Amino acid sequence: ARVKNHLALKLATDILREKNYILGREVEKCTQEIIGIKTGVFVHEIDATELNTVVLQLAKLLEDDDADSIDYLEQHNQLLHGAFQVEYSSMEKEIHNFNFANALAILKDAATQWQIFC
């Protein structure tokens, strides 16, 4: 019975940790949207073809745990920040902290807005 309770508590802890992470991202998205409204900084024209190419290449670098993803992000920061205003700062932070798996998850989630699936 103790083992069963322990496993149930471990599962509940993992579920709550994941939900907390998701809610934290939602709060950050809402905050960034509010900042965009207050500052008037909104998405301008984005070249969808170029964005597709850049996102797929960045995803490949992140999947490979390649530190070149830092330089690649910097090279394409205007395009990515313009396309992913809400998610960009989180993704940038994760990349600079070498948390490539987290950055990839953010990128994949953000890319779906543009119908890009990586």
Residue 65: its pLDDT value, please? 96
Cα torsion angle, 60, 46, 42, 76, sign: positive
Q: How confident is the model at residue 33 (pLDDT cuts 50, 70, 90)?
A: confident
Distance CA 108, CA 101 (A): 11
pTM of the model: 0.64
Q: Tell me: pLDDT of 43 over 50.
A: no
For residues 91-116, give the mean pLDDT: 95
Question: What percent of the chain lies above the pLDDT cut of 90?
Answer: 58
Strands (E), 67-118: none
